[in-house]
Amino acid sequence: MNEEWLDFLKQAGAVSAQGQPLHFGQPDAALRAALDGTICCDLSDWGLIAAQGADAESFLQGQLTCDVRQVTTERSGLGAYCSPKGRVLALFRLWRSGDAIYLALPRALVEATLVRLRKYVLRAKLTLIDASEQQARIGLAGPRAVESLTAALGALPEAGNGVMMATVAGQAITVIRLPGPLPRFELHGPAAALATVWTAVTPDVALAGSEPWRLLDILAGTPTIYPATVDAFVPQMLNLEPLEAISFKKGCYTGQEVVARTHYLGKLKRRMYLARIESPEPPQPGDTLFSPQADASQSAGRLVDACRHPDGGYAVLMVALIDCAEQGVLQLGDGQGPTLRLEPLPYGFESVA
């Protein structure tokens, strides 16, 4: 982790474990503020890959599900990296800054993802590096986020997925507006610059670690791939079509045949749902689901993500058999496990790619 940024967070009151900031003394209040107020979150558990060189765009175009040409200095987007069998190995938010294309993903997946991608570089003119320590990352969300950030930066991206470069304390930072009805922004940049922003917005927000941000991602229906769910889902299962993370016009990429066949044959049997669950043990990504309506020879689904909900229990994203989710019963683990209650996602399932 960026030591300069870690030192700043310690001075700001961060409570850490194993070198990772967890919260700022009131984790329950911060989780509630994610729904009822405005929060500023440390996102140090996210990492960053930078692709640089003349062939960076064409290389990523041949590896990711999204159309990398649509990722610009003014627009970010989601994209998945798949195995040859069309299973998602990593899921990124991409943007451009300077001469690099950046890919944000959980820090725990950076090294393994770089190893896989580098196998295909061959003679391509590009470098792929772990840029996680070069920049710090924070997130602001809530009704006062626009006002607070505008006061600190002067302007903000107006549209979802929009990107803007800002100069703070003489250093450049990247500001990304995430899609959705809740004003939500990611900021990436040097530790000193983000420390200046953090200090400027502190009077107006609740300070938090990454847990409230994870809750907001879940409620927004935005999936994350973790080590436990690598190679578990095809992109359509994760709703990556309505999230505009798949292009069917860009040409070939790793896993493209499986992804395209799933799309054009219309045989998707599983998709991602938002749900709530009361569980005595914290549910985890990769946990299996059970349904009495499912064939005994197959699992009814798996959890994609899970987080505490301030109203009790857990909010989860799950990939489940469509028939079981919409017409049956889903339980965590086995027939004795707690029942999952579906909640509406903030988007429909129609393809927009």
Contact 226, 284 (CB under 8 A): no
Residues 193-252: tens digit of each pLDDT: 999 999 999 999 999 999 999 999 999 999 999 999 999 999 999 999 999 999 999 989
Domain ranges for the chain, please list them: 1-267, 269-341
Tell me which long-range contacts 23-27 makes (C-beta under 8 A, separation of at least 24): 23/208, 23/209, 23/211, 24/207, 24/208, 24/209, 26/206, 27/208, 27/209, 27/211
What average pLDDT does this structure show over 166-182?
A: 95
Q: Which residues of 273-308 are buried (b: 16+ CB within 10 A; e: fewer)?
A: bbbbbebeeebebbbebbbeebeeeeebbbbbbbbb
- Least confidently predicted of 7-21, 48-62, 231-245, 314-328: 7-21
Architecture of domain 1-267: 2-Layer Sandwich (3.30)
Contact 126, 51 (CB under 8 A): yes
Contact 197, 153 (CB under 8 A): yes
Residues 137-163: tens digit of each pLDDT: 999 999 999 999 999 999 999 999 999
Give the pLDDT confidence score for residue 353 in this predicted structure: 33
Q: Average pLDDT, whole number, for the chain?
A: 95
Give the pLDDT confidence score for residue 350 in this predicted structure: 54
Confidence of residue 46 (pLDDT cuts 50, 70, 90): very high
pTM of the complete model beyond 0.75: yes
Q: Is the pLDDT of residue 47 over 50?
A: yes
What average pLDDT does this structure show over 53-60?
A: 97
Architecture of domain 269-341: Beta Barrel (2.40)
What average pLDDT does this structure show over 90-107?
A: 97
Q: Which residues of 220-256 are buried (b: 16+ CB within 10 A; e: fewer)?
A: bbbbbbbeebbebbbbbbbbbbbbbbbbeebeebbbb
Going by C-alpha positions, the residue among 297, 300, 343 that lies closest to residue 320 is 300
Domains 1-267 and 269-341 share a fold: no
Contact 199, 131 (CB under 8 A): no
Give the pLDDT confidence score for residue 351 in this predicted structure: 38
Give the pLDDT confidence score for residue 20 in this predicted structure: 86
